[in-house]
A and B are shown apart, each in its own frame.
Chain A
Amino acid sequence: MMDHFLVCPFNEKLLAKLRQKAIVIHTNDLNIIRYIDKEVNKSNKLHAIKIQTEKPLSAVAFSEDWKNIPLAIYSPEFGIYKDFLHQLHLIRKLNVRIFLSSHHDFNFIALRILSSLNISCGLYFDEGPQNWDAINDLMHYAIYSTTKHAPIEPFDYLAFHYEPSEYTDYSFVYFDNPTKYLHINDKEQIALTEKDLLSNNFIDEGICSLDNISENKKYLDFTNIRYDIMLRMNECAFCPAFRICLAKFADLDNKNETCKIFFSDFMDAADYSFSRKNNNGNQLWQL
């Protein structure tokens, strides 16, 4: 059996069938966070709770009760600064990473506010057109700013994990890479990604099938997706930043004006982080 982390809704019947698994629970119910932590940790290990809320971040009622519970909160917008301020000291005590949508202009500033106040945070890409300039500015802040600040994902993840000779997938920060995470619903249907799960694109069904997932043809095929894109000879196949984008925005039109510019800059920034990480000491002049 492969050592996948399982991403699933909070379903006690489903959890009862799992043993010794690392679990990511996704929920939109803020009232059961402590309960989820207690129940999941009875026979499994809670990796994180992914909370998707429709409320602005400032309207989320953070609780002392959430201390030490690993949380990823996904909120569409930041909301009102003063309301957020009331909770700031509590948020700082929590084991939380706050994600804001790419579809709200103030979120790009809000993420800088959060990061500069030493709160780990990230941007999540909503479907549809993106504000690439704002995303690029935020990436520059996240990677190049010399001021001490908390990580902003997915930029920090990529800067830290980037290897120039390999593909680097930042989807890990969203619990969404099938080499590590598999998604299961209440009916025990298994999907490679959250998007697949939502669009009923399953690779298998039943908890017991997890044991043999590494032999599942659809699971094995996902690694070939990259080669498929190359064979399709579309814009992504010729994009210099394919190694870090992995065609996440393949459906976009006019890539030269949109994602290509951003991901090329993003890869430069990752290269910069990589060389900084690997050239810590002084280099002696060369003979």
Chain B
Amino acid sequence: MANVLLTEKCVRACPYCFAKKQMDTSAFAELSWDNLIYIADFLEISHEQKISLLGGEPTLHPHFVDFTTYLLERNFHVNVFTSGIMSDQKLMECQQFLSGFPPEKLSFTCNMNHPDISSPNETERINKFLSVFGHLTTPGYNIYQADFDIEFIFQTINNYNLRRHLRVGLAQPIPGEINRYVQIDDLKKMAKKFAGYFDLFERFNIIPGFDCGVPMCLFTDEELGKLFKLNKGRLSFGCGPAIDIGPDMMVWSCFPLSNFHKRSLFEFNSLQEIGNFYNNLHAKIRTEIGGIFEECDNCPQRYNELCMGGCIAHSLNHFKNEATVRFKEIYS
């Protein structure tokens, strides 16, 4: 699946924002019709029928509804990553044109922040969005500090009949940038806190799905067993190229690596080519360093490909202040 940034504008300023670099460095670039058609063709040639639209806040793009319906008409499954914060007019427009699509065609991932860091107006707008699109929406939560509270999400899922799956993202460092993320030393504390919610997940019948970049060893075997059951047997501790495409048609591996070997989409002939390009780069980094912990180098779970050793952005951070003695590709 490819992630396409429609716009770099956003209504929020989240402390952990992994897209911050993207949003800071451009004069709010927006994807054009021309480029959208090119991307759709590119994905079709690559036999990829899934596409994620994100930003910034993708609904701020003036043609958001047009683009989404166009992709749906071209038989793509479209997933929209949104804050859910939009004007009444935009919400009405979305309701008119998008609410009739089934979840197999259109879905939303609504990124929730704790009410303590959201204004009442924000919360009201998100609730309005969820009351219209709840049935198509998976909630998402980004953990950016060891101590956090996600109880409000269980309530929201029930109140608005959201899909019973919580997409849990772990904020990661952006090499060379300043953003908030859980420090390596705090990861186990974060995992312990998260494991404290397992009973709630079970009781509410909600699947806690980790996004990527979480090492397996953060959890005890007992916790892993519970996670395995909660996830209905589908557990992954991977880290690989997500493939993000910017409004300026630049591609990069994933947001934490948005400064790392950015290329133009026009240099590639298919999504597989892009995947291979970044997989090769990741492999070179992993040759230099096994994972975020020293133990990753000799970890049997890594050799057995059950765990990728955490987010590669952490690994790149290790090389930040050293002499450039490794593969030259890992420094650019």
Judge whether B41 and A147 touch: CB under 8 Å.
yes
Which residues 31-77 in B have Cβ within 8 Å of A in the complex? 33-34, 37, 40-41, 44-45, 63, 65-66, 69-70, 73-74
- Please tell me the number of chain B residues within 8 Å of chain A, measured between CB atoms: 15
Q: Using Cβ atoms and an 8 Å threshold, which residues of chain B touch A88?
A: 73
Judge whether B45 and A147 touch: CB under 8 Å.
yes
Of B44, B70, B97, which contacts A113 at CB under 8 A?
B70
Give A149 to B74 CA distance when docked, in angstroms.
11
Judge whether A82 and B65 touch: CB under 8 Å.
yes
Judge whether A116 and B97 touch: CB under 8 Å.
no
- Please tell me the number of chain A residues within 8 Å of chain B, measured between CB atoms: 13
- Who on chain A is nearest to B44 by CB? A147
- Who on chain A is nearest to B40 by CB? A116
Give A117 to B71 CA distance when docked, in angstroms.
9
Of A82, A117, A146, which contacts B74 at CB under 8 A?
A117
Judge whether B41 and A116 touch: CB under 8 Å.
yes
Of A82, A112, A146, A148, which contacts B97 at CB under 8 A?
A82
A85 at the interface (CB under 8 A from B): yes
Give A117 to B66 CA distance when docked, in angstroms.
13
Q: Shortest CB–CB separation between residue A121 and chain B, in angstroms?
A: 14
Give A117 to B74 CA distance when docked, in angstroms.
6
Of B33, B66, B73, which contacts A82 at CB under 8 A?
B66
Q: Shortest CB–CB separation between residue B156 and chain A, in angstroms?
A: 30
Judge whether A85 and B97 touch: CB under 8 Å.
yes
Judge whether A81 and B63 touch: CB under 8 Å.
yes
- Who on chain B is nearest to A146 by CB? B45
Q: Shortest CB–CB separation between residue B63 and chain A, in angstroms?
A: 7
A145 at the interface (CB under 8 A from B): yes
A109 at the interface (CB under 8 A from B): yes
Q: Using Cβ atoms and an 8 Å threshold, which residues of chain A touch B40?
A: 116
Give A146 to B269 CA distance when docked, in angstroms.
11
Q: Using Cβ atoms and an 8 Å threshold, which residues of chain A touch B63?
A: 81
Please, what's the 1-or-0 string for A123-159, where 1 marks a CB less than 8 Å from any CB in chain B? 0000000000000000000000111100000000000
Q: Using Cβ atoms and an 8 Å threshold, which residues of chain B touch A113?
A: 33, 37, 70
Give A9 to B198 CA distance when docked, in angstroms.
75
Q: Using Cβ atoms and an 8 Å threshold, which residues of chain A touch B65?
A: 82
Judge whether A109 and B66 touch: CB under 8 Å.
no
Which residues 98-127 in A have Cβ within 8 Å of B in the complex? 109, 112-113, 116-117
Q: Using Cβ atoms and an 8 Å threshold, which residues of chain A touch B69?
A: 82, 85
Give A117 to B33 CA distance when docked, in angstroms.
14
Q: Shortest CB–CB separation between residue A140 and chain B, in angstroms?
A: 12
Q: Using Cβ atoms and an 8 Å threshold, which residues of chain A touch B33?
A: 109, 113
User: In the complex where A81-B63, A82-B66, A109-B33 touch, is A145 in contact with B41 (Cβ < 8 A)?
Assistant: yes
- Who on chain A is nearest to B70 by CB? A113
- Who on chain B is nearest to A115 by CB? B37
Please, what's the 1-or-0 string for A73-94, where 1 marks a CB less than 8 Å from any CB in chain B? 0000000011001001000000
Q: Using Cβ atoms and an 8 Å threshold, which residues of chain B touch A146?
A: 45
User: In the complex where A82-B97, A147-B45 touch, is A116 in contact with B37 (Cβ < 8 A)?
Assistant: yes
Judge whether B66 and A112 touch: CB under 8 Å.
no
Q: Using Cβ atoms and an 8 Å threshold, which residues of chain B touch A145?
A: 41
Give A30 to B97 CA distance when docked, in angstroms.
27
- Who on chain A is nearest to B269 by CB? A146
Give A112 to B35 CA distance when docked, in angstroms.
11
Give A88 to B37 CA distance when docked, in angstroms.
17
Judge whether A112 and B44 touch: CB under 8 Å.
no
Give A109 to B74 CA distance when docked, in angstroms.
16
Give A146 to B70 CA distance when docked, in angstroms.
19
Q: Which residues of A contact B (CB under 8 A)?
A: 81-82, 85, 88, 109, 112-113, 116-117, 145-148
* Contact sample, A vs B, 11 pairs, CB 8 Å cutoff: A82-B65, A82-B66, A82-B97, A109-B34, A113-B33, A116-B37, A116-B40, A116-B41, A117-B73, A147-B44, A147-B45
Q: Could you list 4 further interchain pairs (A-B, Cβ under 8 angstroms) beyond the known A82-B97, A85-B97?
A: A109-B37, A116-B37, A116-B40, A117-B70
Q: Report the 4 A-B pairs with minimum CB-CB distance, sorted nearest first.
A: A147-B41, A81-B66, A109-B33, A147-B44
